[in-house]
Structure 1
Amino acid sequence: MHAYLDAFGLVFGAFDFGLDPEGGWHWYECNPNGQWAWFPGHITSPITTALADRLQYGGTA
């Protein structure tokens, strides 16, 4: 995921994965503006803070 984000110059990406009936993982897509606001505040607040810090201060994940 880090290599994908780096290749496209993205700071954030919401990756969509799924499991098949045998338990195998499949990657479907990366949404560069993925949504998480429907989660409760105790989940969204740290995500928002981390993204804002990354955008403001840069650095590595």
Structure 2
Amino acid sequence: MIGRLAAGIALALLAACSSQPAAPGAVSADEERQLNDAAAMLDANSVSAAAVAGNDEDGQ
């Protein structure tokens, strides 16, 4: 009985130690989602360079 308990505790400790820490400066899943949303908004509001080059409203 004590052997099974010790084995269970050892497995739990081993599982806790095996995960890789996040790399410094790494983006979390939530931050990645926010960046993707921001990029989509910028793409939706973008104007082509041809449309800007053909516009001569300032009279120069």
Could you tell me the TM-score, scaled by structure 2's length? Answer: 0.29
Identify the structure with bigger relative contact order (alpha carbons < 8 Å, sequence gap 6+).
Answer: 1
Higher strand share: 1
Could you tell me the TM-score, scaled by structure 1's length? Answer: 0.29
